């Protein structure tokens, strides 16, 4: 039973340092300059560590940090089908996928973000099922499992019991526009993914219109009224938090993380390190986040600057979720994927979500 495995070793590095992606050599070099650390291999390691022993399972992969190094460290059976000539790039992902098709793999598993999903789709298309280990920053495509553990569960069930296949969207995100605070997304194409409800993310939902804007204004009015002096407020990405900032009278980076103290911005488009430095100075803090529409993620998608370390420092009781009621109608559960299994477990259960002026509702975090 052959499984194709490919890791984009630079995927997700831009998240914690506020770069919102690592597409392109210049951005990758800037991520390293800011102290970004590779995360994709660790995410795939977590997936494979949760994979039970399956008779006859063998991986096909690329050499070095595109897969072979990890499989060697885990003592898993594999063959190398591609060797990059120099630093790994998107062309190496596509070359490896061509070999996967030649060898008739049953499933292709990749660690990366939307850019890697597009590279895989360019070769695989709908010929072989694909599943992504969420390792990027954006991940608006519907090919990713909710967490590395969920990826392992899908792989196990598909390989041993069988799962239905779903035609899933791969999205094309303009990363340069994303860094400038504009989300420009279009449908890039489709792939087939093994599907089990609750384990794989849907495409990001879009909720706009006058009623939604009024709901956001109601939430913003309540949050602004409740803000207290001497408390550091960390505002995650999204239009709901943009409405909060507007009500407070401060600027907001739509797709970044900002920090506000006493009605003034003290950090714009903050990185994880900047947030941790602020938290060493200010011992009272709150985090405001809003879920990604339909997907339901409140941590671990597009806001990796609010890392597990930041959440632990602030305290789980000071993590506040805001969501317009219209969004919640299509977002039945909330999800977290911080990369810290213990923290994710502690965050699970029912959590109050602010949905209006002095209004809240209990929503389950899975």
- 146 exposed, middle or buried (CB, 10 Å; 0-12, 13-18, 19+)? buried
Structure-token pair, residue 308: 């597990």
Higher pLDDT, 197 or 248: 248
Give the tokens for residue 118: 């597009």
Contact between residue 110 and residue 193 where contact means Cβ atoms under 8 Å apart: no
Residue 346 to residue 312: CA distance in whole angstroms: 11
pLDDT at 133: 94
Q: Give the tens place of pLDDT for each residue, 24-70.
A: 555 545 545 555 566 789 999 999 999 999 999 999 999 999 999 99
Same domain? For 135 and 265 the reply is no
Identify whether residues 145 and 44 lie together within a single domain. yes
* Shared domain check, 259 and 190: no
On whether residue 199 sits in a domain, the answer given is: no
Structural domain count, the chain: 2
Q: Could you read off the pLDDT of 268-310 as tens digits, one per residue?
A: 999 999 999 999 999 999 999 999 877 899 999 889 999 999 9
Q: How far apart are CA 134 and CA 140, in angstroms?
A: 10
- Give the structural domain span for 360: 210-365
Task: Give the sheet arrangement for strand 58-62, strand by strand.
Answer: 78-82, 58-62, 2-7, 107-112, 130-134
Summarised one tens digit per residue, pLDDT across range 203-219 is: 655 444 557 888 999 99
Could you tell me the pTM of the whole model?
0.66
Arithmetic mean of pLDDT over the chain: 87
Q: Of 137, 170, 194, which one is at a domain's C-terminal end? A: 194
- Angstrom CA distances, 317 to 99, 155, 226, 237, 351, stand at 49, 35, 16, 20, 10
pLDDT tier for residue 331 given thresholds of 50, 70 and 90 = confident
Percent of the chain beyond pLDDT 90? 62
Token output for 288: 């405001």
Same domain, 117 and 165: yes
pLDDT at 92 over 70: yes
Same domain, 220 and 177: no
Residue of 302, 347, 283 whose CA lies nearest to 321 = 347
Taking the C-alpha atoms of residue 182 and residue 47, their distance in angstroms, rounded to an integer, is: 32
What CATH number is associated with residue 154?
3.40.50.10330
Structure confidence at residue 18 (pLDDT): 47
Question: Does 203 reside within a domain?
Answer: no
The predicted structure's pLDDT at residue 66: 95
């Amino acid at each position: 039973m052959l499984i194709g495995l490919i890791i984009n070793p630079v995927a997700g590095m831009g998240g914690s340092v506020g770069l919102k992606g690592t597409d392109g050599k210049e951005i990758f070099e800037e991520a390293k300059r800011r102290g970004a650390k590779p995360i994709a291999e660790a995410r795939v390691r977590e997936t494979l560590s949760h994979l039970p022993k399956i008779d006859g399972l063998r991986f096909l992969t690329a050499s070095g940090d595109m897969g072979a190094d990890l499989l060697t460290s885990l003592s898993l059976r594999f063959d190398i089908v591609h060797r990059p000539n120099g630093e790994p790039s998107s062309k190496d992902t596509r070359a490896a996928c061509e070999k996967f098709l030649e060898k008739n793999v049953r499933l292709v598993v990749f660690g990366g973000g939307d850019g890697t999903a597009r590279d895989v789709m360019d070769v695989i298309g709908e010929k072989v099922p694909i599943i992504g280990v969420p390792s990027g920053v954006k991940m608006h495509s519907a090919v990713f499992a909710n967490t590395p553990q969920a990826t392992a569960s899908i792989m196990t069930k598909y390989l041993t019991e069988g799962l239905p296949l779903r035609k899933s969207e791969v999205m094309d995100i303009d990363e340069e526009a994303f860094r400038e605070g504009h989300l420009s997304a279009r449908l890039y194409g489709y792939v087939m993914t093994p599907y089990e409800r609750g384990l794989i993310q849907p495409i990001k939902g879009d909720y706009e219109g006058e009623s939604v804007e009024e709901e956001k204004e109601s939430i913003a009015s309540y949050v602004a009224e409740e803000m207290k002096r001497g408390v550091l407020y960390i505002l995650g990405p999204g239009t709901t938090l943009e409405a909060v900032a507007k009500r407070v009278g401060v600027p907001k980076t739509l797709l970044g993380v900002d920090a506000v103290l006493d009605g003034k911005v003290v950090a714009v488009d903050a990185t994880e390190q900047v947030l941790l430095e602020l938290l060493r100075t200010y011992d009272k803090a709150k985090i405001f986040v809003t879920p990604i529409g339909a997907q339901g993620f409140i941590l671990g998608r597009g806001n990796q600057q609010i890392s597990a370390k930041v959440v632990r420092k602030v305290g789980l009781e000071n993590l506040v979720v805001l969501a317009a009621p219209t969004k919640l109608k299509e977002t039945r559960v909330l999800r977290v994927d911080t990369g810290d299994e213990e923290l994710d477990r502690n965050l699970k259960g029912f959590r109050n979500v602010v949905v209006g002026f002095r209004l809240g509702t209990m929503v389950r975090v899975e």
